[in-house]
Amino acid sequence: MAEHHDQHGAHGAGHDEHAGHHPNYKKIYFTLLGLLVVSVVGPVFGIVWVTLISAFGIALVKANLVIQNFMHLKWEKRIAKWFLTASLVLMALFVGGVSVDVLNHEGNNWENIAAQAAVERGLAAAAGEEVVEEEAAEPVDVGFNAPNMFNLVCASCHGAAGDGKGAAGLALDPRPANFTDPAFWAERDRARIVNVITNGGASVGRSPLMVGWSASFSAEQIEQLADYVETFRPGA
């Protein structure tokens, strides 16, 4: 059996070739502690570039000391260095490719309104200013008005006349509710209308296509919508 007997076990070939190269671990340990002190003290000066060097420059030095001496990468075969380097290079590639979209808040023909607003809000709060509830997070403020909102959002399925004959609703099964139908009102009360607008059709065993709107509208606004829906009630 032609096995590579010399190359296994605790003291295999991989070790033998760097036997005798062991660094003075104690010295490296105390160097690391010294560097730690420097990195903690660095920000005391309050100068940005000193902090950057003392924090990240020293982190690199420390990591390098640990990797080379404690992990013995200095004496490892080249192949291990290659694939560890490859993984780091890939991360640099990833950050490089993604930062154009994620780090920046505006670019060619686009801007990240929500992020810009979040930055402004946050900086204002940090400066101790009154936090103004920004409307910018909402893409457009068309003002709330129950009939308008019904026409904007609900009418595509329920129809502007509330008859369940909106363009998108024509092909749905089950059909969108017809608010002009007396049978519809026979078994429903206001609490149920509010509940369905808030939590969606699935919450009462009806079509899940009717989603809950609690994320978009306040309870007060949903009440107004329910009021508007009740205006379709025959004889109302």
Partner 1 sequence: MIPQASTYAASIDNVILLIAVLVGFWFIAAEGMFFWLIWRFRAKEGVKSEYLEGHEPHVKKWITWPHSLVLVCDVFIIIGAVQVWYNVKQRLPDDADATIRIIGQQWAWTFQHPGADNDLDTADDIFTVDDLHVEVDRTYIFQLQSRDVLHSFSVPVFRIKQDAIPGRSIMGWFEPTQTGEYDVQCVEICGIGHGVMAARIHIEDAQQHADWIRSASTGTAQ
Partner 2 sequence: MAHTATAADTHHDAHAHEHHGPQGILKYLWSTDHKMIAMQYLFTGIAMGLIGAYMAYVFRMQTAFPGVNVPGFGQVSPGEYNSLITNHGTIMIFWVAMPVLVAAFGNFLIPLMIGADDMVFPRINRLSYQVFLLSAIVLIVSFFVPGGGFGGAWTAYPPLSAVAEYNQTNLGSSLWLLAVALEFVAFLLGGINFITTLMNSRAPGMRAYDIPLVCWMIVIASILFMLSVGPLIAGAVMLFFDQTLGTGFYDPARGGDPVLWQHLFWFFGHPEVYVVLLPAIGITIDVIATFARKKVFGYKLMLYTTVATGVLSFFVWAHHQFIAGIDPRMANVFTITTLLISVPIAELCFVIIATLYGGSIRLTTPMLWALAFMAEFLIGGVTGIFLGASGADIYFHDTYFVLAHFHYTFFPIAIIGTFAAFTYWFPKMFGRMMNDTLGKIHFWGTIIPFNIIFIPLFVLGIGGEHRRIYNYEHFPELAGEGMFMLRQIATVALLVMLIFQVVFFYNCYVSWKKGEKAGKNPWKANTLEWTTESPPPHGNWPEGLPNVYRGPYEYGHPDRKEDYWPQNQPS
Partner 3 sequence: MAFPKPQATLRSATGIPTGRLAVWWLLASEVVIFGGVLGSYLMHRLGHPEWAEAASHTNTWIGAFNTFVLLTSSFTAVLAHQAAEKGDGKKAAGFLVLTIGGALTFLMVKSYEWTVEILEGFTITANGFWSFYYTAAGLHALHVIAGAIIMGIVAADAYRGRELQRVELIGIYWHFVDVVWIFLFPLLYIAK
Residues that bind partner 2 (CB under 8 A): 1-4, 8-10, 79, 83, 86-87, 90-91, 93-94, 97-98, 100-102, 104, 107-110, 112, 114-115, 118, 122, 137, 168, 171, 173, 200, 202, 208-209, 211-212, 214-215
Q: 3-state DSSP call for residue 211?
A: strand
β-pair partners for 211: 200
Q: SS3 letters for 121-164?
A: HHHHHHCCCCCCCCCCCCCCCCCCCHHHHHHHHHHHHHCCCCCC
Burial of residue 152 (CB within 10 Å: 0-12, 13-18, 19+) is exposed
Subset of residues 96 to 155 that bind partner 3, contact rule: CB under 8 A: 98-99, 102-105, 115, 118-119, 121-123, 125-126
**Which residues make Cβ contacts (< 8 Å) with residue 150, sequence separation at least 6?**
158, 160, 225, 228, 229
2, interface contact from partner 3, partner 1, partner 2, none, CB < 5-8 Å by kind: partner 2
105 C-beta neighbours (distance < 10 Å), count = 16
Q: Which of 72, 209, 224, 230 binds partner 1 (CB under 8 A)?
A: 209
27 lies in the binding site for partner 3 (CB under 8 A): no
Where does this chain bind partner 3 (CB under 8 A)? Answer: 1, 3-5, 7-15, 22, 25-26, 29, 32-33, 36, 39-40, 42-43, 51, 54-56, 58-59, 62-63, 66-67, 69-72, 76-77, 79-80, 83-84, 86-88, 90-91, 94-95, 98-99, 102-105, 115, 118-119, 121-123, 125-126
